[in-house]
Amino acid sequence: MSYTGPDFDPPQQRRPRRGPLTVALAALVPGALLGWMVYEAVGGGGTGGADRTASAAPTAGTSAAPSAPAGTPAASPSASASGSPGDDGKEPGSGPLKGKVVVIDPGHNPGNFRHTAEINRQVDIGTNRKECDTTGTSTNDGYTEAEFTVDVAHRLRTLLEKQGATVKLTRDGDSPAWGPCVDERARIGNTARADAAVSIHADGSAPGDRGFHVILPGSVHAGAADTRAIVGPSHDLGVRIAGNFLRETGEPPSNYVGGGTGLVTRTDLGGLNLSTVPKVFIECGNMRDSKDAALLTSGAWRQKAAQGLSEGIVSFLRQS
């Protein structure tokens, strides 16, 4: 997801590069310390980036990720690096998270750039009206955010289902050719009465901008939006995800938003404004930075990303 606004060009075409965001040193240093405190508070201290789980492809029967556009390098597709999750013999719905419902929202859709009229349609997000959806971003080699997000979502679903959770995706391999709109994505989580909802994204900022950040809902009470009841639990969910994501992936907190904490609060996202269940977004890295792109296109790293997300969600659900 582009942090500064929608991009409606086909993902294989490079967008003009935006200038780097300037962060004052005086703000960055205390912010980095706060980020480390968040990390330690949720059980950090492990070796950053240690591969604690084998890379795994989506489980048998799972819809495959959409095909990459022409020009996508062989290393980019969603096929995993090595190994697959073993069959632990557990019956579906058994495990410590039995009875818990998690909604995973893989950002964007690979067909959005061919349906600009549909995704440009304005929808009510409470505070104002906004585009139904955006195209998302891509690496310079053409690996799209939409492909990345559904691949991580499949891996995350496998991990959570092994814990006994019921997992629903807002879109999958059999989804319509575009969307769903941001208001519908929120409604899916609300209708499911999810105990936790996570929207997965990757950013499209300037080269040199690196790191992940978790977006938390701000307090909104306007129109169809009322987040007041979910602000607190969503913050808890976000902090737990941030700490575990950092530990599992080794990806640092963003160096261009969040002051080094890896946490950002926003009130302009319909997927958060319209949610009535605890929900956060995560920008897993910057697809336009070569170092982050090398991670995001790695199946082994995507498995670590799914593991970090899973551990954050599990930690939240076990105390809720």
Indicate which residues carry an active-site annotation.
Answer: 283
Rounded distance between C-alpha atoms, residue 205 and residue 254, angstroms: 11
Amino acid at 25: L
Rounded distance between C-alpha atoms, residue 318 and residue 315, angstroms: 5
Strand partners, 281: 199, 215
CB distance 202 to 145 below 8 Å: yes
Would you say the C-alpha torsion 284, 290, 291, 296 has a positive or negative sign? Answer: positive
Picking from 100, 221, 224, the residue whose alpha carbon sits closest to that of residue 167 is 100
Structure tokens given for 303: 């498995």
Residues 6+ apart with CB under 8 A from 101: 165, 166, 167, 168, 192, 193, 194, 195
